[in-house]
Structure 1
Amino acid sequence: MSSANPLPPSSSSGAQPSGPAEFALPLDRLIGKASATSLEKHLGLTTVGELLNYFPRRYLNRGELTPIDKIPVNEDVTIMARVLSVTKRRMRERKGFITDVVVTDDTGALAGLKISFFNGFKAEKELQPRALALFSGKVTLYNHARTLTNPLFELLPDDELAGHEAEFHAQRPLPVYSATAKLPSWKIQRVVETVLAAVDFSRLRDPLPLGIVRREKFVDLEEAYRQIHAPSEPADWQRARDRFRYQEALVLQTALVRRRAQTAAEEATARRGTADGLLAAFDAALPFTLTPGQQSVGDVLAAELSVDHPMNRLLQGEVGSGKTVVALRAMLQVIDSGGQAALLAPTEVLAAQHYQSIRAILGPLAADGILGGLLSGAGGDAPGGVNGDVPASTQVTLLTGSMPAAARKRALLDAASGTAGIIIGTHALLSDNVRFFDLGLIVVDEQHRFGVEQRDVLRNKAHKPPHLLVMTATPIPRTVAMTVFGDLEMSVLRELPAGRAPISTHQVGLVENPGWVRRIWSRAREEIDAGHQVYVVCPKIGDDSDDSDDSDGDDGGYDGSVGDGSGYGSGGVGGAGPLLSAASTGQQGASADQGNPAGRPAGASRPDLAEVNTVVEQLRTEPALAGARIEALHGRLDTEDKADTMAAFVAGDVDVLVSTTVIEVGVDVHNATMMVILDADRFGISQLHQLRGRVGRGGLPGTCLLVTALEPPHPSRRRLDAVAATTDGFVLSQEDLKLRREGDILGASQSGGRSTLRLLRVLAHEDIIARAREDAAEIVRKDPQLRENSALEAAIEAYLNPEKEAFLERG
């Protein structure tokens, strides 16, 4: 492939419509109201353009049946299989019968997939042995075998059934669309064929510049639409996918590059600091030496803060890599320049932890007093300024939603008057009544927890665009960074400061090893007897709460980690019962003599998730933990109770802290050496990695147990295998992407809307993303307003609708 630059000339200019009028037509104008209503209800598709851009997810060839052992569990799927046998049996509990159809993939590797139809008259009549058919439904596990119940089905032409017609169909790939139980793939295909025949493509203008089309040897746009939806041979849809994949990359990268250029053109206040200010005093008093990585990143931040354009930087680093110190040094430079710094944290627990740790590390420099940094020539007229004298300290203020009214009023006054140099808070910082005297730097901790709109609210509280530093302990692969954070500069901290001990991680499968239940708590007892402390993490709080993890109500959720639709409901540790009794493994269909496992409501049809309140009660009666001091921590406790509990744990007055993921980030207790994560399969890879980072922080080796009641074949256990295999967050971030379902890279938690990616895969298509980024940079350099590339401009607007476009506003 030739180099992406120099960029060939564009073919798009003028103010013509971006496509045929039909692309904006409501679907009911072409396919009828009933079909249009079904598409809108099940897929959210309302216009011709939306339907034609709903591409097949894969293609089937008649001679290549779906491997039964590869069918994903608990997902809506469309499979092609051959009927092996059809039998009929009466139902035991009620009138009627069940038709059991066994289908095969012709490999002989497995006996086949059992499909059951209740009162299946149509299935009994049409699904004869040797028939070839498509089946659409949700595959589940029953007695360790895959089953399918009441699926929709469609007979296919077959050489044994349809002669010459089958020969014609055998040569054509069969598109398979992401479908639902009520709207199978073949019905979508028929609607698409109708629309393709009716649309006039003559006025459709190409978002890709003509030079790129020629350089890459892409098919034209109309042909691409026809080939991706109705290919005559495999090469057709492959060519069309190549074209649309690159188009997708170019549209997204152009939007990001243009956003970065717009941000760079804004005017900010340079925050150069001073040679003898708070930052210098802080560095001189540090009881440890910065790692080379911390020093290098610090130098970059210092340089970017010193110019009159806003810094927009993403700092990623492993759990415990020292990001907070790097951010604090940047805050002090801004304070030395007469400005203020705001630190936005996702939970009250983390905000309070930051408040306490920053005050502790600053020592005398954090004594209550005037705004630091009121130096000669740096804003001596600010409140509290002493004719340019260098202050001895800066005030650190905490602002959260549940603070008492008097304390909140004082914090608001300190922020607005400039008395506070560092303001730390949760979403409370975003309230309309929060004002700053001179907000110069925003630090966002755990950036994935906040929507872009929330960061913009804080950004708009500054007189000029403030500098921005967003931090994450979730390692981000390079391709994701280019795709999601392409408008931010990036720094990475890979080194861990001295004193971090290794963490050993083990998966505890209760199905295959029910006897390990007692060993979990005996192992916890060993840590307690050694003078150490233990975390126990649960996915739910209890008290009839439906929320898996409220995290103070400040957590918008992340990466599908709790209840992400992957079929986790089929397992669970039974409200903690199975973890406290070796008699139960948390499987469905437990024998009657197991009784009602503790923590489960009477009559429950399947195990519940481990709940903080229930686990606390039962661990207090666990013989292995007799005499241990056990307390609960979660977001629904009031502020004082949370603070008291956390303070007691930090002080060593609590042996076992049973918590939700409210302790996921930032909590730093050096004496904690063990973590037990119940229902660990309910959490994502990144979240598990962050959670275990809470142990092994004080030079003592850490242990993390990932407890699950899912059966070994369940796909969710692959995540636990990955986390147990390595502590390298960057390796895990790659594995995380591999395990996610298609299109989940820019999920709602990251983009602010539904998934943005259609065909582009950030791991598999790094070369495409990089090439498109070069093209995008050249396009924006030559045509910043995209006046000569109006079709590309229109594609950006259409592709990044107002909901999706939010994720670009990271500056």
Structure 2
Amino acid sequence: MRPAILFPLFRPLAGLPGLGAKLARLAERLAGPHAVDLLWHLPSGLIDRRFAPKIAEAPGGRIATLTVRVDGHAPPAAPRHPYKVRCTDETGVLELVYFHARGEWIQRQLPQGRTVVVSGRVEWFHDTLQMTHPDAVVPVEERAGIETVEPVYPMTAGLPAKTLRKAIRTVLDDLPDLAEWQDAAWLARQRWPAWRDAVRSAHTPTEEADLTPSAPARRRLAYDELLANQLALALVRLQQRRLSGRAVAGDGRLRARVAAALPFALTGAQQRALAEIDADMAADRRMLRLLQGDVGSGKTVVALMAMLNAVEAGHQAALMAPTEILARQHAETLAPLCWAAGVEIAVLTGREKGRARSRVLERAASGELPLVVGTHALFQEEVAFRDLALAVIDEQHRFGVHQRLQLSGKGRAVDVLVMTATPIPRTLTLTAYGDMEVSRLTEKPPGRQPVQTVTVALDRLEEVAAGIRRKVGEGARVYWVCPLVDESEQLDLAAATERHAYLRALFGDRVGLVHGKMKGTDKDAVMAAFAEGRLDVLVATTVIEVGVNVPEATVMVVEHAERFGLAQLHQLRGRVGRGDKPSTCLLLFDPHLTETARRRLKTLRETEDGFVIAEEDLRLRGAGELLGTRQSGLPEFRLADLAEHDDLLAAARDDARLIVERDADLQSPRGQALRTLLYLFERDAAARTLRSG
């Protein structure tokens, strides 16, 4: 249960002053559903209203706070003209300018003869100082209320900045006094403020330096968030270790048959990964291992060998993929190898219906079916296994930790192997997979061709199309990936449909289209037509990014490459170069490139090493966007910036390890405070693994 002291921070936004149901929805889209989310929504700028010159000394273009006397009103002479209010001090004249404003309202705000304080941006117009739509107008006796530094927050359309500031101030005024969870000596060494002071300080910057990741208040809060993350992972890992496992060790006969059927020998990296997996499975504690391998490094074969280890020992294994296309493709890749080993494999996705589905379910439940490949459908309640010993989860970043636990809950002491083809920088591996052991496949299987990467400006589209026509004439198959548009599937689809029509006009009806809005069966039919050579060109949104395998495809065109993340471009490039012919990746870019986009494209031209690319991507974009997908399953940090705070991540990891060694159930006074920290950062699942106390 969440501690009562945190209840005020987890009240819904609609309960805060100024935020009714409608504005609360906008604030929720901006920050999150609870009051605490506003605390993590830190200012990105500031407006300094402390500058208070006389009228004659006010420089144009600056925010100024002026004390003036209201001399007279000049209502607009025509409907489109502005309403002007003439004000003075002993040094000159200031005109306040209002467009589309109601005269009575202005007269109430600024009665003639009154001395007022006005604040806003000033400009000189001819010889007169003007302030258009002042930000603040108050009687002179309330001057102290505006002569301050005002935080500027990232905003969303329709939510007034003043309303958001007021809601945040309310939450800051009600901050509970929480017991300190940081180690006292470490806190003193860092010279950080207490938690409550740090939050208030982060929301009341007085100079630009207070807005940087290195400001003491921001570093303290970033460390709190990283410690919550690392402690949660350490507790989940400990929980996994405490759960009794079981030793699973096959005799190698099925794996020997697969090895004999493979057209190539396993690489050194594959053999090392398999040795680590075998050792984990043979131990009597549960395996939780991440298999990281670049596109085309042969993860699927490693996964099959691990699954066969379970089958040899008389158990079952399941492989789960994030999409139907990928699940079916895994099944197709594995089927001939399973056939060689004499082991049956079946597919279970949302599309299997009726008798076929019932048959798979019956045979999985009876234990007659040793291997099942599927999508999220494997989580469903009616799916049962007689004796599931190994769960393999592909493209882990598309699934959360809870889904991982759900699948492993389908059997007794299930070992879990998680795979990703998205190379993840070391820092992110710690934050997302700190609860796992890691194996890396760093070599490509023999026979893989390098991919030549070329960048071309979009204004040369016709030349590119002519080059593609030549390639298709020589028998090549081509992927053409359309741009990401504003993260909107509707617009992505429009861009893809338009490009499909353009290419059909050039190449006739041997051009297909796949996108995320299509039915699974229709998508598969188009993919099959492309794989079998009935289509020459496949136009796609990024649905083809993960795992699609057509060895005959040798050209990848990515339109508006500057809109994609580095890791995502690397994934797309990995769709070609899978056969024995040389392959090309054309990155079409908008000539008006930002410096970051230019560096991104240069990195891709220079290297095919996914791990080098991932580290550079982290540097260029920060962790939040790293995988190019919002649903990346990587923890979204609100306060920590992994590129700036990686030293804090290492410290948080060490601290979490020590805490778990000394006080695994968090019963000491510091342990109790750390429980509050876990709930504060909504790591409730980890908090629940603790024995209640």
Q: TM class by shorter-chain length? A: 0.7 to 0.9
Shift in Å, 1:637: 6.1
CA deviation map 1:416-465 (0-9, x unaligned):
22222221122332333222121111111112223444433322221x13
- Say whether residues 1:667 and 2:641 are aligned partners: no
Are 1:476 and 1:730, in contact at CA under 8 Å, matched by a contact in 2? Answer: yes
Instruction: Tell me how far apart the structure 2 counterparts of residues 199 and 647 of structure 1 sit (CA, whole Å).
Output: 60
Spell out, residue by residue over 1:67-112, the C-alpha distance to the aligned partner (whole angstroms, 9 max, x if none).
xxxxxxxxxxxxx9569xxxxxx9xxxx96498xxxxxxxxxxxxx
Match for 1:273: what amino acid?
A: G
- Shift of residue 47 of structure 1? 6.7
Deviation at residue 760 of structure 1 after TM alignment = 0.8
> Of the candidates 206, 210, 213, which is equivalent to residue 187 of structure 2?
213
Instruction: Show the counterpart of 1:532.
Output: 476
Note closer, same or farther for the CA distance 1:81–1:327 as it changes in structure 2 (3 Å cut): farther
Q: How many Å apart are 1:536 and its aligned residue?
A: 2.2
The 8 Å contact of residues 149 and 206 in structure 2, kept in 1 or not, is answered as yes
Match of 2:530 among 635, 643, 649: 649
Cα shift at 1:717: 7.5
SS, match of residue 580 in structure 2 = coil
Within the alignment, does 1:765 sit opposite 2:688 as a pair?
no
Is the alpha carbon distance of 1:194 and 1:671 closer, same or farther for their aligned partners in structure 2, counting shifts above 3 Å?
closer
* Cα offset, 1:636, TM superposition: 6.4
Match of 2:667 in 1: 787
The match for 1:487 among 428, 432, 435 is 435
Helix, strand or coil at the partner of 1:772:
helix
2:345 to 396, 409, 415: 396
Distance in 1 separating the partners of 2:600 and 2:185: 44
Q: Please tell me whether residue 564 in structure 1 is matched to residue 512 in structure 2.
A: no
Matches of 2:363 and 2:175, distance apart in 1: 64
**Counterparts of 1:320 and 1:348 in 2: how far apart (Å)?**
20
SS in 2 for 1:787: coil
Whether 2:364 is the aligned partner of 1:415: answer yes
The change in CA–CA distance for 1:120 and 1:299 in structure 2 (over 3 A counts) is farther
Q: 1:474 aligns to what SS in structure 2?
A: coil
8 Å contact from structure 1 (residues 750, 807) kept in 2: no
Equivalent residue, structure 2, for 1:609: 495
Conservation of the 8 A alpha-carbon contact between 1:152 and 1:181: no
Asked if 1:308 is matched to 2:252, the reply is no
Structure 1 length-normalised TM: 0.67
- C-alpha displacement of 1:209: 3.4
Mapped partners of 2:592, 2:419: distance in 1? 36
Deviation at 1:269, TM superposition (A): 2.6
Q: State the distance in 2 between where 1:425 and 1:719 align.
A: 35
* Aligned pairs, number: 626
Aligned counterparts, 1:263-662, within 5 A: 263-274=240-251, 276-365=252-341, 393-403=342-352, 405-462=354-411, 464-510=412-458, 513=459, 516-538=460-482, 563-564=486-487, 608-611=494-497, 615-622=499-506, 625=507, 629-634=510-515, 643=524, 645-662=526-543
* Partner secondary structure for residue 609 of structure 1: helix
Residue 57 of structure 2 is matched in structure 1 by none
In structure 2, how many angstroms separate the alpha carbons of the residues matched to 1:673 and 1:756? 36
Distance 2:400 2:159 in 1: 33
1: CA distance, partners of 2:370 / 2:584: 39
Structure 1: distance between partners of 2:21 and 2:383: 46
| Contact 1:673/1:702, CA 8 A, preserved across alignment | yes
CA deviation map 1:378-413 (0-9, x unaligned): xxxxxxxxxxxxxxx211112222235333233223
Q: Decide whether the 8 Å contact of 2:229 with 2:683 is kept in 1.
A: no
Is the CA contact 2:63–2:120 (under 8 Å) kept in the aligned structure 1?
A: yes
Deviation per CA, 1:259-284: give whole Å up to 9, x if none.
Answer: 1111111122321111x421233234
Paired residues of 2:393 and 2:418 also in contact (CA < 8 A): yes
Distance verdict in 2 for CA 1:776–1:406, change over 3 Å:
same
1:410 is aligned with what amino acid?
Answer: R
Gaps of 5+ in 1: 1-14, 65-79, 84-89, 100-115, 136-150, 366-392, 540-560, 576-607
Question: 1:293, CA displacement in angstroms?
Answer: 1.2
Match of 2:238 among 261, 271, 274: 261
Instruction: Name the SS for the 2:42 alignment partner.
Output: coil
Equivalent residues of 1:193, 1:230 under 8 A apart: no
CA contact (8 A) 1:98 1:120 kept: no
1:701 aligns with 2:685: no
- 1:107-122 aligned at under 5 Å gives the runs 119=100
Correspondences of 1:674-713 after superposition (within 5 Å): 674-680=555-561, 683-707=564-588, 711-712=592-593
* 1:737 counterpart = 2:681: no
Q: CA deviation at 1:476?
A: 0.8
Moved more, 238-247 or 786-795: 238-247
Bigger drift between 254-263 and 46-55 goes to 46-55
Deviation at 1:660, TM superposition (A): 3.8
Does structure 2 conserve the Cα–Cα contact (< 8 Å) formed by 1:534 and 1:656? yes
Contact preservation (8 Å) 1:245, 1:760: yes
Instruction: Specify the code of the residue in structure 2 equivalent to 1:34.
Output: G
Match of 2:135 among 130, 135, 154: 154
Does the 8 A contact of 1:756 with 1:804 survive in 2? no
How far did 1:776 drift? 0.9
Q: Are residues 533 and 51 of structure 1, via their aligned partners in 2, closer, same or farther at CA, if it must alter by over 3 Å?
A: closer
Q: Distance in 2 between matches of 1:16 and 1:340?
A: 39
In structure 2, relative to structure 1, the CA distance for the partners of 1:20 and 1:503 (3 Å cut) is closer
- Offset of 1:329 from its aligned partner? 1.1
Unaligned runs of 5+ in 2: 52-60, 65-75, 83-96, 110-117, 123-131
Pair 1:244-2:126 in alignment: no
What's 2:44 paired with? 57
1: distance between equivalents of 2:169 and 2:335?
A: 66
Identity %: 38
Higher share in helix: 2
Secondary structure, counterpart of 2:135 in structure 1: strand
Partner in structure 2 of residue 74 of structure 1: none
Following the alignment from structure 2 to structure 1, what is the Cα–Cα distance between the partners of residues 2 and 373? 50
Contact 1:448 1:472 in 2 (8 A): yes
- Partners of 2:527 and 2:520 lie apart in 1 by 11
Provide the C-alpha distance between the structure 2 equivalents of 1:781 and 1:216, rounded to a whole number of angstroms.
24
Which amino acid is 2:182 matched to? Answer: L
Aligned equivalents of 1:806 and 1:345: distance in 2? 28
Distance 1:354 1:402 in 2: 16
How far is the alpha carbon of 1:470 from its aligned partner?
A: 1.3
Query: How far apart are residue 340 of structure 1 and its match?
Result: 1.2
CA distance in 2, matches of 1:63, 1:651: 71
